[in-house]
Each structure stands twice: as structure tokens, then as C-alpha cells.
């Protein structure tokens, strides 16, 4: 399903078309997606958002995209007989969008090898922990259970390992006495909303240089 593009926050003039294009993959409420939209509209990211791709037809991120005039592609995971069929459809959707950068902002599925190879160096993810610690789901809960004193968020490039790609940016959050999973997640999320747009900006300005596992800011 594709919702037609609307005019509004993302005009189609020549200057806009010369900017790098980004597409966002999200599965849920899309608060990080909204942070990216807001940063683009404020002129903080020199890019245009050309699509939201979601595996969840009920995701609130769809409403955010519609309000911003961003086309939506729904690749509903439940509509495919196998994961392989879903991955093929997702790969096709991403190829059709043909973005310079694909941003995973609360996308709750692991990307297949074919997608990662096709878009090597062009997929970015935000994770609510200081990687390489606490990969996967419920990172905030893992951090609390381990008893760490500092947590945070990480933006990284995506490779074949779960949450283990080259790190672009990190932000630290102090773990307070009395924190539960929700309280810690809320404080980390505020930093996610700053960290992800900043990493996207650096990419779009071609200031990220990857050397093995090290990402340097030029």
C-alpha cells in the first residue's frame, strides 16, 4: 500500500531534489521518526524524507508520515507465508524507494542478509543502550538487571550482527536509584531524539568516514 505524496513540509523544488534522500523504517509509534521529520523541517538535516516503510499497518508512525506529506509503503509481515517472502518484498520496496540512507527508527525486525548486502553502509539504526552492551530487545531492562550506573543510546551502521555495526554516535544517561524500565527508557528516549537526527545530518553532509569498525567524523 502506498499513500500518495502530499505537498507541505517536504516541497519538490529543485533545491530539495538535490539534497540526499532518506527513508525511515518503523514499526510502532514513531517518536524517533517524528524527531527526524522535525529536524528536516527546521533545516537541521540537509535531506528530504522520501518514504516511511513499515511492517505494521497499525503503526502510529503512519499518521506522522501522512501529516508530513511523506509517502508510506506498508509491507505487512503477516501477509507473507515465510520470512523469506517478506524479506524479498521489503528488499523490493527499499529498492523502489532508492534512498541514499535507510534509517531504522523503532523497526522491530532483523534485516536479512540480502538487504544488508544490497545497502551496505547505507542503513543506520538507533538502539537504547551503550553498545556493545545490551543488544536486542528490552535493553533498558537488561541494563537495570545488570546494575550498571550509566546507560544511554547508540546510533550505528547496520551489519549482519545484531546491534553490532560500527558505532557513529553515543549519548550517556545516568541510572538513578529507583529507576524502573519505563523511567530509564523515557530519559534515554530524549537523547535518542537528539542523537539520531545528528547522525543523519553527519551522513548527509558526508562527514562520516568508516575505517573497519571505527567511524570518524571528518
Active site residues: 127
Residues 6+ apart with CB under 8 A from 38: 197
Cite the DSSP H helix spans in 22-97.
Answer: 31-41, 61-68, 83-97
Cell digits of residue 169: 554516535
Cell digits of residue 143: 541494563
Which element (helix H / strand E) includes 170? strand 167-174
Calculated CA dihedral for residues 27, 29, 32, 36, nearest 10 degrees: 90
Distance between CA atoms of residues 91 and 183, nearest Å: 36
Whether 5 and 71 have beta carbons less than 8 Å apart is answered as yes
Whether 54 and 62 have beta carbons less than 8 Å apart is answered as yes
Count of helices and strands (H, E) across the chain = 7, 10
Residue 211: φ, ψ to 5° = -130, 95
Instruction: Please provide the size of the chain in residues.
Output: 218
> Between β-strands 208-211 and 167-174, what pairing exists: parallel, antiparallel or unpaired?
unpaired
List beta partners, residue 132: none
Amino acid at each position: 500500500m502506498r499513500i500518495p505524496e502530499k505537498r507541505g513540509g517536504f516541497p519538490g523544488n529543485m533545491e530539495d531534489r538535490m539534497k540526499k534522500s532518506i527513508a525511515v523504517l518503523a514499526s510502532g509509534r514513531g517518536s524517533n521518526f517524528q524527531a527526524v521529520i522535525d529536524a528536516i523541517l527546521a533545516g537541521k538535516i540537509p535531506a528530504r524524507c522520501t518514504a516511511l516503510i513499515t511492517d505494521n499497518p497499525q503503526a502510529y508512525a503512519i499518521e506522522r508520515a501522512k501529516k508530513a506529506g511523506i509517502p508510506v509503503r506498508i509491507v505487512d509481515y503477516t501477509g507473507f507465508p515465510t520470512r523469506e517472502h517478506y524479506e524479498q518484498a521489503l528488499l523490493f520496496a527499499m529498492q523502489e524507494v532508492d534512498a541514499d540512507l535507510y534509517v531504522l527508527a523503532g523497526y522491530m525486525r532483523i534485516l536479512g542478509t540480502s538487504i544488508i548486502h544490497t545497502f551496505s553502509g547505507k542503513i543506520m539504526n538507533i538502539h537504547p543502550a551503550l553498545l556493545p552492551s545490551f543488544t536486542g530487545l528490552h535493553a533498558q531492562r537488561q541494563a537495570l538487571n545488570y546494575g550498571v550506573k550509566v546507560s544511554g543510546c547508540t546510533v550505528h551502521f547496520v551489519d549482519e550482527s545484531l546491534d553490532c555495526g560500527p558505532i557513529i554516535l553515543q549519548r550517556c544517561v545516568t541510572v538513578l536509584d529507583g529507576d524502573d524500565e519505563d523511567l530509564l527508557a523515557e530519559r534515554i528516549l530524549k537523547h535518542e531524539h537528539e542523537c539520531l537526527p545528528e547522525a543523519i545530518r553527519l551522513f548527509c553532509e558526508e562527514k562520516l568516514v568508516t575505517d573497519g569498525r571505527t567511524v570518524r567524523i571528518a
